[in-house]
C-alpha cells in the first residue's frame, strides 16, 4: 500500500531535480524521503509489513519541523543567523506537505470536545485526551500547546 503523500513528495522531488534551480528544495525533499524510508524500515522490523500510511508520514514531517525549529533557535543564540535562516526555509518546504495548522482557538475547541467525549475529570485522564487529540489531529495541531490547554482544563 503506497501512501498518497509519499507519492506527492517523490513526484515533487523529481520535478525539483529536473528544474535544477533550487538546491535547498531538492536537499530538503531528499531528507524527507530518507526519514520516511528510515521510519518504514523500523516499522517493518516491528512486524508492520503493510508499509507507512499518511498519518505515519505526517508524524515524521511534524518531527522534522520541530527539529528544525529547535536548530534554528540554537543557531540564532549562537549568532549563526545564516544557518537559522536555512533551517527556516527547510521548515517552509516541509510544511507544504502538512495540513493547515490549527489556531489557538481551534485547539481550545478541539480540547474541549475531546474532554467531553472521553468524560475526562482530572489529570489522570490527560494521557487519554492527548492520545485522542493525536489520533484526530496528527500534523495539524501543535501538541505542546494542546498539552498546556488540556492541563489547564483538567485542573480547573
The CATH 1.10.1510.10 domain(s) of the chain lie at: 4-95
Amino acid 136: pLDDT: 86
Architecture of the domain made up of 104-154: Orthogonal Bundle (1.10)
Is the pTM for the entire model greater than 0.85?
no
Stretches where the chain sits below pLDDT 70 are: 1-2, 47-50
Express as a percent the part of the chain with pLDDT over 90.
43
Amino acid 47: pLDDT: 67
Q: Could you say which DSSP state residue 121 is in?
A: -
Amino acid 1: pLDDT: 42
The CATH 1.10.10.410 domain(s) of the chain lie at: 104-154
Backbone angles phi, psi at 46, to 5 degrees: -95, 25
Q: Could you tell me the three cell numbers for 126? A: 490527560
Q: Judge whether 102 and 142 are in contact, CB under 8 Å.
A: yes
Burial per residue of 4-38, b for 16 or more beta-carbon CB atoms within 10 angstroms, e otherwise: ebbeebbebbeebeeeeeeeebbebbeebeebbee
CATH 1.10.1740.10 fits 4-95, yes or no: no
Amino acid at each position: 500500500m503506497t501512501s498518497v503523500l509519499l507519492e506527492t513528495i517523490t513526484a515533487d522531488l523529481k520535478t525539483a531535480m529536473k528544474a535544477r534551480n533550487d538546491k535547498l528544495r531538492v536537499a530538503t525533499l531528499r531528507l524527507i524521503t530518507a526519514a520516511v524510508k528510515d521510519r518504514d524500515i523500523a516499522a517493518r522490523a516491528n512486524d508492520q509489513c503493510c508499509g507507512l500510511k499518511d498519518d505515519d508520514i505526517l508524524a515524521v514531517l511534524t518531527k522534522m519541523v520541530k527539529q528544525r525549529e529547535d536548530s534554528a533557535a540554537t543557531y540564532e543564540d549562537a549568532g549563526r543567523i545564516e544557518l537559522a535562516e536555512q533551517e527556516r526555509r527547510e521548515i517552509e518546504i516541509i510544511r507544504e506537505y502538512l495540513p493547515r495548522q490549527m489556531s489557538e482557538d481551534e485547539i481550545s475547541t478541539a480540547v474541549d470536545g475531546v474532554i467531553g467525549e472521553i468524560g475526562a475529570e482530572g489529570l489522570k485522564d490527560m494521557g487519554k485526551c492527548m492520545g485522542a487529540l493525536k489520533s484526530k489531529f496528527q500534523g495539524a495541531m501543535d501538541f505542546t500547546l494542546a498539552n498546556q490547554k488540556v492541563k489547564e482544563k483538567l485542573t480547573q
